[in-house]
Amino acid sequence: MTDTPENIGPADTDFRSGFVCFVGRPNTGKSTLTNALVGSKVAITSSRPQTTRSTIRGIVNRPNCQLVLVDTPGLHRPRTLLGQRLNDLVRDTYSEVDIICLTIPADEKIGPGDKYILDQVRHMAPRTPLLGVVTKIDKVGRDKVAEQLLAVSKFLGENSDVIPVSAASGEQVEDLVQLLASKMQPGPAFYPDGEVTDTDDDTMMAELIREAALEGVRDELPHSLAVVIEEVIEREQTEAQVKADKPGMLDVHALLYVERPSQKAIIIGKGGSRLKSVGTEARTEIEKLLGRKVYLSLHVKVAKDWQRDPKQLGRLGF
């Protein structure tokens, strides 16, 4: 890829580095697998489809390699302008990576959606090597895993490797790292050792808030929810914080945008109970991310049909 920091780190000929893109239908385990490989939460996860909204980079550091994982939105047939722009994000990534991994769950049959994605990948990046990753193998027995491996191998063709993995249990995760490393060219690390993502804090905070807000809601809401960090304010350190060499509290003000008043009511909940729960869960994750105490203020606004409005999409960062 061309838009990376200046090469840093090991230049030994035994050291390998490169970029990997996970593609697949929505909810095939791409974000969960990214987090498992990195060993830290860099991409939000949800049981709802179309959770990922941006290309999140996770950095896998091992003594013999550095892999930069690009977690993309699930490629799908778009119904809105937002859907089209999410697809464009995926397509722009195809030709910029060294390997594309097509994720297909062990507990789901290969279907038209998988064929659509495979056709798109081969059309947009015909020279990029393709690796099949059978995910969620902890959900089925060994016979079913073997059956799915054969099906995916036949689906991709004899020139593509296929590997089973479970991000939930960790089974085969390290094998996948080493398989990907073996397919990379010798080269230096792109990021300093210890970094796990190049995504900025505001984007990560917005994603964590959206993740918390998505849990337990109706199917249509995930597509209609956007989160924008409005303001981040550093509080002065207290005397106790100065003595303990700890940072002051951070005030984070965020806006949650939905498309209809009925959706606003869902997010807020009776008497504001649900929004309070979202704030508590998101604040806990943000404090883990930043390593400091956070005061989180959430407000919900209606932006009618924002998914179809170019101006509103631009204001919301799409």
Q: Which residues are annotated as a binding site for GTP?
A: 24-31, 71-75, 135-138
For residue 121 the two structure tokens come to 């990948």
Judge if 250 and 132 occupy the same domain: no
Judge if 255 and 177 occupy the same domain: no
- Kindly state whether residue 51 falls inside one of the protein's structural domains: yes
Q: What is the largest CA-CA distance in the chain?
A: 66
Give the 3-state secondary structure of 257-269: EECCHHHHHHHHC
Judge if 88 and 234 occupy the same domain: no
Long-range CB contacts for residues 262-270, cutoff 8 Å, separation at least 24: 263/221, 263/224, 263/225, 263/302, 264/300, 264/301, 264/302, 266/217, 266/218, 266/221, 267/213, 267/217, 267/221, 267/225, 267/300, 268/300
Summarize pLDDT for 120-170 with one digit per residue, the tens: 889 888 889 999 999 999 999 999 999 999 999 999 998 899 999 999 999
pLDDT at 124: 83
pLDDT at 2: 39
Judge if 39 and 111 occupy the same domain: yes
Judge if 76 and 209 occupy the same domain: no
What gap in Å lies between CA 70 and CA 197, rounded to an integer?
Answer: 10
Q: Provide the pairing of β-strand 56-62 with 65-71.
A: antiparallel
> pTM here?
0.66
Judge if 172 and 67 occupy the same domain: yes
With contact defined as beta carbons under 8 Å apart, do 221 and 260 qualify? no
Q: What total of structural domains would you count in the chain?
A: 2
Summarize pLDDT for 237-248 with one digit per residue, the tens: 888 888 888 888
**Domain boundary residue among 183, 214, 235?**
183
The upper half-sphere exposure of residue 288, i.e. CA atoms within 13 Å in the direction of its Cβ, equals 10
Judge if 210 and 268 occupy the same domain: yes
With contact defined as beta carbons under 8 Å apart, do 228 and 254 qualify? yes
- Kindly state whether residue 141 falls inside one of the protein's structural domains: yes
Residues of the chain with pLDDT > 70, as a percent, come to: 81
Judge if 282 and 243 occupy the same domain: yes
**Domain boundary residue among 149, 183, 217?**
183
- Kindly state whether residue 7 falls inside one of the protein's structural domains: no
- Kindly state whether residue 170 falls inside one of the protein's structural domains: yes
Judge if 172 and 237 occupy the same domain: no
For residue 59, count CB atoms less than 10 angstroms from its CB and return exposed for 0-12, middle for 13-18, buried for 19 or more: buried
What gap in Å lies between CA 308 and CA 83, rounded to an integer?
Answer: 9
What gap in Å lies between CA 17 and CA 20, rounded to an integer?
Answer: 10
Q: What angle separates helix 142-156 from helix 112-124, to the nearest 10 degrees?
A: 40
- Kindly state whether residue 272 falls inside one of the protein's structural domains: yes
More confident residue, 53 or 96: 96
**Enclosing domain of residue 295:** 201-316
- Kindly state whether residue 8 falls inside one of the protein's structural domains: no
Summarize pLDDT for 192-221 with one digit per residue, the tens: 888 888 777 888 888 889 888 887 665 556
Judge if 20 and 155 occupy the same domain: yes
Question: Partners of 104 in the beta sheet?
Answer: 134
Whether residue 26 has pLDDT greater than 90 = no
Judge if 105 and 223 occupy the same domain: no
Q: Residue 78 sits in a domain of what CATH number?
A: 3.40.50.300
- Kindly state whether residue 2 falls inside one of the protein's structural domains: no
Whether residue 82 has pLDDT greater than 80 = no
Mean pLDDT of the chain: 83
Q: What confidence category does residue 49 fall into, taking pLDDT thresholds of 50, 70 and 90? A: very low
- Give mean pLDDT, residues 22-35: 86
Q: Which residues are annotated as a binding site?
A: 24-31, 71-75, 135-138
- Kindly state whether residue 3 falls inside one of the protein's structural domains: no
